[in-house]
């Protein structure tokens, strides 16, 4: 089964990448690096004997992982072939992202052919809560990161501070390295450099489009497994090129293309159907509210006293307070953030995707739609999973929405 699934995965990866590379012209040269990363998705990369720590969500404080000399690897998977493997273990209506991630864990298929020493699994949704108990089915060991259900109260905050402190201890144990003030400070520094470049990319995307949305999603996606220093460096070069393009008015689409904000369940490579379809139909994705892209690196750590006693809580705060995951209740901030993005990026319409099986995103969609409507922003709600069964219906609905937006624009 292992070999067969792996072959199907490789085909899937190739197909998805080919579609993007073939269908979209006028791509910045610097994208070449990122395409190459995805082509070599499963090839082994040397990691200088550093331990790899797998993460399953953006609520894992990666600074701590860097500080103990390990490498974080985000293993959330977008592969249909892996979801099919995972199906065995979950109820029929479970979220495809979880099924896929678990399928890959089950087969020990990791990006960069890594072998994680530990898998940090935050308790964000019911699926993730239960997945932690399925450790006997897989080889790696799960570590449950107890994310509080709310982020509003000081109680939740202090609880989370303790959880993160405990994680730091566990990381020290697994890696055999001590967490020191200097190392943690350096780790915050490394991550913040990556954050600075990602924010720069967003600022560029606020203007007339010089990069395809699917390309931008790929770039953010590569952060899951790429070496952070390389990634930052490459992104900074890409940003240079994009800024240059903006100066020369070299846009990938004309002004008439509807500017789309993609919200909800994340598009994770190779599941790029949605952004690719939107852009094939003449739209342009200028922003995503995805935990796989904008949300993963946007929020910043602010430390007041550079000693461990304040640095660890500062990092913890950054992974809790600005969170807009629908697992938090209440989650007013998500709606406020969406409105803000809509304004900043001059959004014409929002496409809200929810994975079939993700009740949290599904339930929030109504409220989001209402608020967007009040602000005169049209929204299309979609429910997708990793299969291509319902592409026909999806195409029709997307097309109708795009036409509506185009009419509004002209």
Q: Which is nearer to another protein, 218 or 316 (CB)?
A: 316
CA–CA dist 115, 321 (Å, integer): 31
Token readout for 79 is: 């592969």
Select from 337, 338, 401, 405 the one that contacts another protein (CB under 8 A). Answer: 337
Q: Does 322 bind another protein (CB under 8 A)?
A: yes
The answer to whether residues 91 and 104 touch, using CB atoms and an 8 Å cutoff, is no
The answer to whether residues 321 and 381 touch, using CB atoms and an 8 Å cutoff, is no
CA–CA dist 319, 314 (Å, integer): 9
Q: Which of 88-96, 103-111, 333-341, 384-392 is the region at the interface with another protein (rule: CB under 8 A)? A: 333-341
Q: Does 312 bind another protein (CB under 8 A)?
A: no
Residues 6 or more apart in contact with residue 178 via CB below 8 angstroms? 68, 172
The answer to whether residues 279 and 368 touch, using CB atoms and an 8 Å cutoff, is no
Q: Does 188 bind another protein (CB under 8 A)?
A: yes
CA–CA dist 309, 305 (Å, integer): 8
Q: Which of 29-37, 100-108, 305-313, 383-391 is the region at the interface with another protein (rule: CB under 8 A)? A: 305-313
Q: Does 256 bind another protein (CB under 8 A)?
A: no
Q: Which of 71-79, 192-200, 212-220, 358-366 is the region at the interface with another protein (rule: CB under 8 A)? A: 192-200
The answer to whether residues 116 and 149 touch, using CB atoms and an 8 Å cutoff, is no
The answer to whether residues 406 and 390 touch, using CB atoms and an 8 Å cutoff, is no
Site for another protein in 33-72 (CB under 8 A): none
> Which of 301, 385, 377 minimizes the C-alpha distance to 83?
385
Helix (H, G, I), strand (E, B) or coil at 169: helix
The answer to whether residues 405 and 285 touch, using CB atoms and an 8 Å cutoff, is no
Q: Does 342 bind another protein (CB under 8 A)?
A: no
Beta bridge partners of 143: 120
Q: Which of 72-80, 113-121, 142-150, 331-339 is the region at the interface with another protein (rule: CB under 8 A)? A: 331-339
Helix (H, G, I), strand (E, B) or coil at 213: helix
Q: Does 165 bind another protein (CB under 8 A)?
A: no
Sort residue 342 into left (φ over 0), alpha (ψ -120 to 50) or beta: alpha
Q: Which of 213-221, 301-309, 367-375, 379-387 is the region at the interface with another protein (rule: CB under 8 A)? A: 301-309
Q: Does 299 bind another protein (CB under 8 A)?
A: yes
Select from 321, 359, 394, 406 the one that contacts another protein (CB under 8 A). Answer: 321
Select from 22, 136, 256, 304 the one that contacts another protein (CB under 8 A). Answer: 304
Nearest approach, Cβ of residue 37 and another protein (Å): 24
Q: Does 303 bind another protein (CB under 8 A)?
A: yes
Select from 111, 213, 313, 357 the one that contacts another protein (CB under 8 A). Answer: 313
Q: Which residues of the shown chain bind another protein in the complex (CB under 8 A)? A: 152, 154, 185-186, 188-190, 192-193, 195-196, 199, 203, 299-305, 307, 309-310, 313-314, 317-318, 321-322, 333, 336-337, 339-340, 343
């Amino acid at each position: 089964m292992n070999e067969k699934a792996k072959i199907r995965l490789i085909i899937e990866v190739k197909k998805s990448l080919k579609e993007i590379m073939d269908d979209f012209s006028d791509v910045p040269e610097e994208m070449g690096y990122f395409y190459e990363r995805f082509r070599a998705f499963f090839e082994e990369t040397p990691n200088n004997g550093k331990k790899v720590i797998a993460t399953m969500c953006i609520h894992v404080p990666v600074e701590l992982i860097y500080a103990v000399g390990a490498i974080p690897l985000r293993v959330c998977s977008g592969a249909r072939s892996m979801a099919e493997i995972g199906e065995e273990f979950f109820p029929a209506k479970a979220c495809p992202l979880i099924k896929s991630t678990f399928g890959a864990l089950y087969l020990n298929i990791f990006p960069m052919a890594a072998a994680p020493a530990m898998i940090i699994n935050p308790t964000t949704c019911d699926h993730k809560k239960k997945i932690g108990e399925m450790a006997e089915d897989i080889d790696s060991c799960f570590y449950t990161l107890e994310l509080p259900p709310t982020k509003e109260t000081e109680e939740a905050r202090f609880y989370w501070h303790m959880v993160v402190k405990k994680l730091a201890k566990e990381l020290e144990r697994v890696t055999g390295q001590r967490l020191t003030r200097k190392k943690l400070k350096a780790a915050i520094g490394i991550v913040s450099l990556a954050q600075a470049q990602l924010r720069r990319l967003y600022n560029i995307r606020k203007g007339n489009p010089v990069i395809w949305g699917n390309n931008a999603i790929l770039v953010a996606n590569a952060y899951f497994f790429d070496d952070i220093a390389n990634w930052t460096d490459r992104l900074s070069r890409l940003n240079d090129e994009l800024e240059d393009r903006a100066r020369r008015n070299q846009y990938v689409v004309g002004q008439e293309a509807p500017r789309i904000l993609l919200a909800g369940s994340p598009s994770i490579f190779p599941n790029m159907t949605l952004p690719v379809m939107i852009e094939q139909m003449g739209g342009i994705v200028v922003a995503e509210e995805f935990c796989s892209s904008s949300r993963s690196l946007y929020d910043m750590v602010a430390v007041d006293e550079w000693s461990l006693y304040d640095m660890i809580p500062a990092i913890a705060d950054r992974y809790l307070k600005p969170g807009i995951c629908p697992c938090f209740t209440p989650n007013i901030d998500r709606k406020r953030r969406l409105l803000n993005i809509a304004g900043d990026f001059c959004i014409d319409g929002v496409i809200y995707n929810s994975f079939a099986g993700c009740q949290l995103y599904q339930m929030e969609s109504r409220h989001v739609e209402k608020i967007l409507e009040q602000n005169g922003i049209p929204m299309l709600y979609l429910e997708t999973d990793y299969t291509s069964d319902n592409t026909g219906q999806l195409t029709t609905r997307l097309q109708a929405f795009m036409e509506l937006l185009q009419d509004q624009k002209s």
